[in-house]
Amino acid sequence: MKRLLAAACAALILFPCGTVYAENMTIPSIRETIQAEQTDAFTFRNGVQWGMTPEQVQGIENIPMTMRTSKSSEWSVMLTSSPVQVSRFTADLVYMFHQNQLKMITYEFQSDGSMLSYQYLTGALCSVYGESWDPGSILIKALMDRIYPDRYRTEWIREARGWTDGDGTAVYQYYFSTNSYAILYVCPELGGQNSGYDVNGL
């Protein structure tokens, strides 16, 4: 009987304390945890992030790269001297800077004449970013025209797919000529389903 009374007293003493402890704890829900992970800043290969300068990117990549100024004086590009490894394939890597800040990145691949490598990369991108959407050729051309006006012809852009990362970074995959295709990464302020166009005054 004494043991029973002692156990009951202990329960009465501990129960309020446990309640206060639980009430004061902040335990994130699964949804909050997922949302926090999804809004993390986009990080490219080797830790490259949006807004970095050419010097910062070069320091992280630590591979030979060439700097070029585009036709637009506000934009510059930095490209690798030789192809880099991407998944099972190799591609030319190009970093694009606006006023010395990283805004876009592209991998440019040479096709072997079949769609197999392209389709493989589509599947790989879906596994990372989820279901794709159709960006259309005009949006992709509008983005690239900021740096290389008229480099792309709208009719050459085909098989386009788009994805949006949790922080708003847009990812596009598309053919831009008969035997060349690209994966283009665009920072949140320029990317997305409703971005890419000059909307000043609209």
Q: How confident is the model over 129-138, as a mean pLDDT?
A: 93
Among 28-42, 164-178, 184-198, name the one with the lowest average pLDDT: 28-42
Using 50, 70 and 90 to split pLDDT, how confident is the model at 104? very high
- CA pair distance 50, 201, nearest whole angstrom: 27
Within a 10 A sphere around the Cβ of 194, how many other Cβ atoms? 8
Condensed to tens digits (0 to 9), the pLDDT of residues 77-100 reads 999 999 999 999 999 999 999 999
Q: Where are the domains of the chain?
A: 2-36, 46-186
